[in-house]
């Protein structure tokens, strides 16, 4: 890790407070030909808010940003922010493979009214941690809303250690971290290193229970995006009431969804793709959002009934398992 003095482009970007609680990554509805179907986005957002989310994050992984052109990303974000209408904070995904395009998307998000940004490290080129730290400094210099760093090693090949993240926080570059790491202690270590001043969010469902018990400020992942009401019940049991017995009962019903949703991801092979599960589940219990954009395909029929039963066990009315 480099101890180089930060460049003079850095400025604090923590003027707005970040959210605490459950954040849903809103999905992007597509037509059969791959075009945007934005009329489906508004009822989807209304449903998420009715489920009790504390924030919404358009164009996260669940927003399928990686398969979208710049103009479409901007259109989705503008519609989401306008329709949200200040009901909950909007954390805009502004990731891209280059610093220049990430800055462009970040500036656009701030102008559109985003309350914060969620930014994954540049993907595919696998830059070094030192290079990616400068990437975040340039983003922070371009905007005045908080930046949440999306820590996602498998899909970026960038592994920021706790020391890197603390340095970026102390410089005022980032205000939060979405920790999508399968090791719960990465959340614990980061919280302890900053005394809870850096907002840390559980970013993958397999560590959500432990992360919230360690004191994570919230949860941004698949379960909060598909069954937000159930996710909120778990968050309140742990973070608000400190009722571990109740939290265990809630998690016992959520864990099967986590295992189904990430079965292919964790096996690094075939099975139920996490996003196919998410869109299928949303189609069963909320306003229809359509299918994933290829190459991700709809959930195979063999998983429909197991998913539907999990959703019923969580208290949702399943309209259709087909």
> How would you list the strands of the sheet with 176-179, edge to edge?
55-56, 21-24, 218-220, 199-202, 176-179, 147-151, 116-119, 91-93
Active site residue 253: no
Choosing from 74, 136, 178, 303, the catalytic residue is 178
Q: Which helix (H) or strand (E) element contains residue 21?
A: strand 21-24
Q: Which two tokens stand for residue 102?
A: 């990430």
Q: How far is CA 36 from the centre of its chain?
A: 20
Choosing from 11, 74, 123, 150, the catalytic residue is 150
Number of H helices, E strands in the chain: 14, 8
d(CA 235, CA 228): 10
**Largest separation between any pair of C-alpha atoms in the chain:** 57
Local structure of residue 110 (DSSP, 8 states): H
The torsion of the CA quartet 191, 195, 196, 201, rounded to 10 degrees, works out to: -20
Active site residue 178: yes
* Residues with catalytic function: 150, 178
């Amino acid at each position: 890790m480099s101890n180089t003095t930060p460049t003079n482009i850095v400025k604090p970007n923590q003027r707005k407070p970040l959210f605490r609680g459950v954040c849903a990554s809103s999905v992007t509805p597509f037509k059969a030909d791959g075009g945007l179907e934005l009329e489906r986005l508004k009822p989807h957002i209304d449903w998420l808010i009715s489920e009790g989310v504390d924030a919404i994050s358009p164009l996260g992984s669940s927003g399928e940003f990686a398969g979208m052109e710049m103009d479409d990303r901007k259109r989705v974000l503008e519609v989401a922010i306008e329709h949200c209408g200040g009901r909950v904070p909007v954390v805009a995904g502004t990731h891209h493979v280059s610093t220049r395009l990430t800055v462009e998307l970040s500036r656009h998000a701030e102008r559109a009214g985003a309350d914060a940004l969620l930014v994954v490290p540049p993907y595919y080129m696998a830059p070094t941690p030192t290079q990616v730290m400068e990437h975040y400094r340039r983003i922070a210099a371009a905007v005045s809303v908080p930046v949440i760093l999306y820590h996602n090693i498998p899909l970026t090949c960038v592994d920021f250690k706790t020391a890197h993240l603390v340095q970026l926080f102390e410089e005022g570059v980032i205000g939060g971290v979405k920790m999508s790491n399968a090791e719960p202690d990465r959340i614990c270590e980061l919280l302890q290193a900053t005394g809870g001043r850096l907002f840390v969010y559980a970013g993958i469902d397999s560590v959500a229970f432990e992360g919230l018990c360690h004191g994570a400020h919230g949860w941004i992942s698949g379960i909060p995006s598909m069954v937000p009401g159930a996710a909120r019940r778990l968050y309140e049991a742990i973070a608000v009431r400190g009722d571990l017995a109740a939290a265990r009962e809630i998690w016992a019903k959520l864990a099967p969804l986590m295992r189904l949703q990430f079965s292919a991801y964790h096996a690094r092979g075939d099975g139920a793709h996490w996003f196919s599960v998410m869109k299928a589940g949303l189609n069963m219990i909320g306003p229809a959002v359509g299918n994933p954009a290829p190459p991700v395909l709809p959930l195979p029929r063999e998983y429909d009934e197991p998913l539907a039963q999990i959703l019923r066990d969580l208290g949702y009315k399943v309209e259709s398992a087909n």
